[in-house]
Amino acid sequence: MSSQAVFVLFNGMAQGMAFFLVAAGLTWVFGILKILNLAHGAFFMLGAYIAYSVGGAWPASIWTFLAVALVAAAAVGVLGYLTDVLVLRRLRNVDYHYALIATFGLMLFCEGVAKAIWGTDYFAVMPPPEVDRAIVVGGSYISVYTLFVIGTGLALYAALEIVMHRTWAGKIMRAVSNDPWMAGTVGINVPLVLMLSVVASFVLAGFAGGVLVPNQALSPHVGASFVLYAFMAVVIGGLGSIRGTFLACILLGIVESANATFMAQYGGIAIYILLAVALVWKPNGLFPAQGTT
């Protein structure tokens, strides 16, 4: 395997796992509440800013870095609870267009808050010292932080799969997703499950912001680039399907990496071709969700 191919593979996997870290919460909340949260990228951005404010630009160690990411996840989770109480809970029994408008307004509000608190300057956060280096794989230099992002994405996917398919909590969430009324008649506290699902999706957004903050310059618009790919992955994989979103993120990452390496003069065009082909071939997604799968 050539060094270019190795680079494309690892870089593509890293991009794909970065997309999945952002898309996981998006597909989670859609699968259970059937809400497409347009503000998801804004809360990812807030998670990144919180991680920067708590941990600074130079993390002391990988453990400090992860602890700061968990703090960002918890903080954004609290914001998710407030969002559910003040906004989303009021829109559960109305047309979904209202939820789209509300979350779009929430996105603009979050960006305004970020500009008011942190300004519009760009900030840079370095990776932890343990992963701030490169190794040689197949003749190509690969950042250890790249491997860290890949490992984190794979671990998150495994955790979500276990929760959704191997635990009682996952069975309850799928029951509520499939038929909230019937779930309520058998004693499940449906409002509580819906609230916890919203909070979980926001926690995932905050955690992604904390982990990916060294991935690119931090600004009030940092969420836009990630959430665009996240939406693409959710559509290609199947709305509400964690498994489909995971595979779609890998496809998007590798295609984007190959496009940048071999067809740099046509930057970004390959993923749109992939999206068009996927929509024609599998309009319901690679793994159409039945509830949340």
Q: What is the pLDDT of residue 146?
A: 92
* 78 Cα distance to chain centroid: 17
CA distance 53 to 101: 30
Q: What is the pLDDT of residue 287?
A: 83
- 105-139 burial, b if ≥16 CB within 10 A, otherwise e? ebbeebbeebeeebeeeebebebbeebeeeeeeee
Give me the phi and psi of 185, to 5 degrees please.
-70, -20
SS3 assignment, position 134: strand
Q: What is the pLDDT of residue 292?
A: 42
Beta carbons of 160 and 242 less than 8 angstroms apart? yes
167 falls within a domain: yes
Q: What is the pLDDT of residue 99?
A: 85
Q: Max alpha carbon distance in the chain (Å)?
A: 61
289 falls within a domain: no
213 falls within a domain: yes
| CATH number of the domain enclosing 71 | 1.10.3470
Strand 134-137 vs strand 140-143: parallel, antiparallel, or unpaired? antiparallel
CA distance 63 to 21: 19
Taking only the tens of pLDDT, the chain with its 293 residues reads 577 888 889 999 999 999 999 999 988 888 877 788 889 999 999 999 999 999 988 998 999 999 999 999 999 999 999 999 998 888 887 887 888 899 999 999 999 999 999 998 899 899 999 998 888 887 788 899 999 999 999 999 999 999 988 888 888 888 888 888 888 888 889 889 989 999 999 999 999 999 999 988 898 888 888 888 898 999 898 888 889 999 999 999 999 998 888 887 777 788 888 889 988 988 888 887 654 44
**Total domains, the chain:** 1
Task: State the Rg of the chain over Cα.
Answer: 19
Give the global pTM. Answer: 0.90
CB atoms within 10 A of CB 241: 25
Return the structure tokens found at 53. 């404010």
Beta carbons of 199 and 77 less than 8 angstroms apart? yes
120: domain range? Answer: 2-281
CA distance 152 to 61: 16
Beta carbons of 289 and 47 less than 8 angstroms apart? no
Q: What is the pLDDT of residue 289?
A: 64
Q: What is the pLDDT of residue 293?
A: 42
Beta carbons of 236 and 286 less than 8 angstroms apart? yes
Dihedral of the CA atoms 125, 247, 236, 5 (nearest 10)?
70
Q: What is the pLDDT of residue 291?
A: 44
Return the ∠ at Cα 252 (arms to 138 and 289), rounded to 5°: 130
Task: Calculate the alpha carbon distances from 111 to 2, 45, 74, 272 in Å.
Answer: 43, 8, 19, 27
Q: What is the pLDDT of residue 85?
A: 92
136 falls within a domain: yes
